Amino acid sequence: MASPKVSEALAQVQSSPDPASAYESLLVNLKSVSTPQTLLNDLKAIIDAVFSTSQLGVVAQRSLLGRFVTTVHEFENPDVWVAAAEHALAVLSSASAGPASTTTANTSTATTTSGTFLDQAASLRELAADGHEANEDNISAARVLAEIPLDSSQRRVTYEDRVRVWVRIVRNYLEVDDTTSAETYLNKLKNVIYQVSDPALNLHFRLSQARIQDAQRQFLSASQAYHDISLSAAISEDERLHTLSMAVKCAILAPAGPLRSRALGKLLKDERSAGLPEFGMLEKMFFDRLLAPDEVQKFAEGLAPHQLALTADGTTVLARAVVEHNLLGASRLYANIGFDALGELLGLDADRAEDTTARMIEQGRLVGRIDQIERVIWFEAGSEGEASGEKGSGRADVKVGREMRRWDANVQSLAEEVENVTNALQREFPDFVAANLVV
């Protein structure tokens, strides 16, 4: 029930020669006649009165709804925002459904009436979403925003308006790690984002895309996206460093191999990276140095929950990335190594060490061969041992006479060096060569 002052004011409005202006004045001065305890009931009473009177036309009701939303927002109470918006939407719905239930012939009129307040209904849903977001109820906020009609023929909606709503929905779903629902609206954004020139909306789209890729463990793509955003002048310096840090984390978590090496190299060349807490891990991974457990534990403290989630084999994303990196580092140190010794180095049992090596070779992220009879892994060294990153390219075939050809190459190299020395002596000391050497 409304407070006595508001009830009295509503009675005076009914007898006013200009009720629209009287309602407007009441909403503007509501803070002076209402109290925090009766505010919600007062707002409900006002909106009920606006739609129960026959003195107001559609244009006046539209204007008053706009004023109503502005007035509610002035009271910094998210619960009131939600409740007032939901009540106003219910009033609009019943007002639109009323004529439709009278006769069948009035169906088109009801549709027109409901379409009359589409803009105001959208504003009310955004008001409710503001309240849900302030209360950290992101799921409810996303669902309310999803009810805003963006494809209605009765309401003109620009591309920017659509993108603004969809970006907001995506961000709300990402706050609760619902990447499936977020990706649904991101796919809608992809179809229209090129039509929008607003740099802020474009930035939010790119950031949302990076966050979804990050959550779906597409770490290389996410790292590239975060790094691009970190170079944007549209965000503050602190935010640029934060997104750069996210780029480094994603690159470190990416599967070891040539693609990750290129991503790490690009980030290492960024002079800002030296000031990040993750720089030590970044540098060690780029140079294929073995990682110690305490370094990994310290790095894990700065990761998000989804980046520490368990994979199908029961290990974390970070643990798998570290194992693969240390295996790549071992390939730089050893020409060959036994299954048991490799397992001890990686902190795994021999069978899992063999499986990890076989997977990396098969995926083209490591070049070598596995001798299962002797239980030894042979790594390819030199230019022939650079992985291409293409699936199936890491399995090295056993070439006939490979050691002999290497010996021949070494002999040829030595002969060429002797020839170079002889030529240099002939140029510098021709008399000595003529007297002492047979050419």
Contact 42, 30 (CB under 8 A): yes
Domain boundary among 140, 157, 174: 157
Rounded to whole angstroms, the maximal C-alpha distance in the chain is 131
| 307 is a domain residue | no
Local confidence band at 381 (pLDDT 50, 70, 90 cut-offs): low
- 439 pLDDT higher than 70: no
Local confidence band at 206 (pLDDT 50, 70, 90 cut-offs): very high
Q: Which helix (H) or strand (E) holds 338?
A: strand 336-338
| 142 is a domain residue | yes
- 86 pLDDT higher than 50: yes
CA distance 431 to 437: 10
Local confidence band at 435 (pLDDT 50, 70, 90 cut-offs): confident
- In three-state secondary structure terms, 234 is coil
Residue 199: CB atoms within 10 A of its CB come to 11
| Residue 198 φ/ψ, nearest 5 degrees | -65, 115
Could you tell me what percent of the chain has a pLDDT over 90? 31
Report which of 230, 233, 232, 271 is spatially closest to residue 250, judged by C-alpha positions. 230
Domain boundary among 133, 157, 181: 157
CA distance 23 to 19: 6
pLDDT of residue 97: 59
Note the pTM of the prediction, 2 decimals: 0.72
| 402 is a domain residue | no
**Token pair for 371:** 């001798």
Q: What is the pLDDT of residues 155-171, one digit of tens each?
A: 788 899 999 999 999 99
Q: What is the pLDDT of residues 325-335, one digit of tens each?
A: 888 888 888 88
| 414 is a domain residue | yes
**Token pair for 140:** 């409810």
pLDDT of residue 389: 55
2 versus 424: the higher-pLDDT residue is 424
Tally the domains of the chain: 2
pLDDT of residue 252: 92
| 244 is a domain residue | no
Domain boundary among 157, 173, 195: 157
What is the rounded average pLDDT of the residues 363-372? 85
Cα dist. 57→71, 113, 302 in Å?
21, 12, 59
pLDDT of residue 329: 84
pLDDT of residue 386: 54
Question: N- to C-terminal Cα distance for the chain?
Answer: 117
- 319 pLDDT higher than 90: no
- Angle 382-387-392 from CA coordinates, rounded to 5°: 130
CA distance 163 to 221: 23
Q: What is the mean pLDDT of the chain?
A: 84
pLDDT of residue 103: 35
pLDDT of residue 388: 52
Residue 292: CB atoms within 10 A of its CB come to 11
What is the rounded average pLDDT of the residues 133-155? 88
Local confidence band at 10 (pLDDT 50, 70, 90 cut-offs): confident
pLDDT of residue 184: 93
pLDDT of residue 291: 85
| 75 is a domain residue | yes
Own/partner pairs, 56-64, CB within 8 angstroms, 24+ separation: 56/19, 56/20, 56/23, 58/116, 60/19, 60/20, 61/117, 62/116, 62/117, 62/119, 62/120, 63/20, 63/24, 64/20, 64/23, 64/24, 64/27
pLDDT of residue 107: 33
* Size of the chain in residues: 439
| 340 is a domain residue | no
CA distance 357 to 368: 9
**Token pair for 34:** 């209402």
Alpha-carbon torsion angle 366, 369, 370, 373, nearest 10: -170
CA distance 356 to 349: 11
| 363 is a domain residue | no
Residue range(s) defining the domain that contains residue 133: 1-157
